[in-house]
Copies of this chain bind each other. A is one copy, B any other.
Amino acid sequence: MRDESIFDLDQLNEECGVFAVFGHPEAARLTYYGLHALQHRGQESAGIVTTDGEQFRVHRGMGLVTEVFQNDQLERLTGQIAIGHVRYSTTGGTGLKNAQPLVFNQAQGELAIATNGNLVNAVRLRRELETTGSILQTTTDTEVIAHFMARSQKETLQKQVKEALNRVVGAYALLILTNQELIVALDPHGLRPLSLGMLEDAYIFSSETCAFEVVGAKFIREIQPGELLVLNREGMVSTHFTKPQPRSICSFEYIYFARPDSDLGGINIHQARKRLGKKLYEEAPVEADVVTGVPDSSISAAIGFAEAAQIPYELGLIKNRYVGRTFIQPTQELREQGVRMKLNAVREVVAGKRVVMVDDSIVRGTTSRRIVNLLREAGAIEVHIRVSSPPVIGPCFYGIDIADKKALIAANHSLDEMCKILGADSLSFLSVEGMLEAIGRPENEKNRGHCLACFTEQYPTLIEEENQYPMVLGGER
């Protein structure tokens, strides 16, 4: 499941990761480790803001967490409260201006905001702000929230936040920092993941639980849809800024985004993926000699498929670990070499074999076609694609870079057509029902607790017409 460019073989752009620490003397350093554990959610920029109760320290930069932060920077980031952010990588780079956390000077003092997600009424809200005299500095939706807070005449920050959040519609995990308080909120549908942990007496917030492990914190609970937490000198208070909706957590977190060692809704991601692979074999068995997964995100599903099928699981595709971000575009005649820079088929493993190629998802289909081709060139006599998620037929407006409907192969072609386009001997997708069963969330939630919009076109919120192109909160339009 990846896009057109021959170099973006496995990048479905993620929508950022957030991390926060409240009440620890090493707040910045813990945030550094936490962001590093969330690095897969965004590689374009990284930033940390700390406060010592008096003033902010800010460091943001383009690149990976380990590139942006050196020891010097961390030492300057003093204070017991920190919020951090990693931002997804786009081709064509968007520059430091949009790197989060965003920092503002308001009448009440300094304010920092970091979000993961996307608003679906941002276009209208920006226009409203601009025509009534506000000047927006970034192209992020995050700034829209800050401006509504600045305009609020309410007397406390908490009330200003509530007023602002009741103007915006969309998906967001939100961190707001002042020199006195940390405020944490999740959108009314709980579309994005956000969890609470503790390390000794300190509160930790993270997009994924794997970061708790890394910093040695204990997972406490997930933040609830519509919940708003206020942390200050008096401790932590939980309220709701709106009537919560049933949880609709993004399915793609299970399928592709989250790290295998994270848990989501009490379910381990690796094991969920392995079950997706097993279920896929049950729904679409095939006779074959080897099972291989498209690295890295499809490995768990491939292992599950192989176990269920009793077919050997092999490393039939090798991903180069040193890919880097500044590729040299191949010349026309060396185009194939460019493809193989990222991914190579192992001749000895696949030559003369019937190969099952397990992929976690197919969006445009261009990459899958190339991988089939690599396998055939390496001598595979049959290639059977098994996809451990349902066909993607609708765009995402909540922060995942799933494009325009016209580009989605499954929205425009029958299964047979797709199989032909991809050059496979057979092609099967997992059913929506099978997926939900394999993931295994409790039955008593609506949609069983998932956002399935990209598979069903049933969106949990209203999508305003002028927003009907994908945007990224914490991203650039």
Does A104 lie at the interface of the complex (its beta carbon under 8 Å from any beta carbon of B)?
A: yes
- Report chain B residues within 8 Å CB of A328: 29, 32, 66, 69-71, 74
Closest to A34 in B: B337
Q: Out of B210, B261, B320, which one reaches A37, CB within 8 Å?
A: B320
- Report chain B residues within 8 Å CB of A131: 107
Q: Can you show 24 pairs from A to B with CB atoms below 8 A apart?
A: A26-B331, A26-B334, A29-B334, A30-B334, A33-B330, A33-B338, A39-B321, A39-B322, A64-B324, A65-B322, A74-B328, A106-B135, A130-B150, A133-B134, A133-B152, A261-B344, A268-B346, A268-B348, A270-B314, A274-B314, A300-B315, A303-B313, A303-B315, A313-B313
Asked if A36 and B320 sit within 8 Å, CB to CB, the answer is yes
Binds B, one of A211-219, A362-370, A386-394, A409-417: A211-219
Instruction: Give the top 9 A-B pairs by smallest Cβ distance, nearest first.
Output: A66-B324, A268-B348, A133-B151, A107-B130, A39-B322, A261-B346, A261-B318, A214-B340, A107-B131
- Report chain B residues within 8 Å CB of A322: 36, 39-40, 43, 64-66
Per-residue CB proximity of A314-354 to B under 8 Å, as 1/0? Answer: 11001011111111111101101110110011111100000
With A263-B348, A300-B315 known as contacts, the answer to whether A67 contacts B134 (CB < 8 A) is: no
Asked if B66 and A326 sit within 8 Å, CB to CB, the answer is yes
Per-residue CB proximity of A155-196 to B under 8 Å, as 1/0? Answer: 000000000000000000000000000000000000000000
Does A312 lie at the interface of the complex (its beta carbon under 8 Å from any beta carbon of B)?
A: yes
Does A299 lie at the interface of the complex (its beta carbon under 8 Å from any beta carbon of B)?
A: yes
Asked if A146 and B135 sit within 8 Å, CB to CB, the answer is yes
Closest to A147 in B: B135
Asked if B30 and A270 sit within 8 Å, CB to CB, the answer is no
Asked if B215 and A105 sit within 8 Å, CB to CB, the answer is no
Does A90 lie at the interface of the complex (its beta carbon under 8 Å from any beta carbon of B)?
A: no
Q: Out of B33, B146, B323, B334, which one reaches A334, CB within 8 Å?
A: B33
- Report chain B residues within 8 Å CB of A283: none
Asked if B315 and A260 sit within 8 Å, CB to CB, the answer is yes
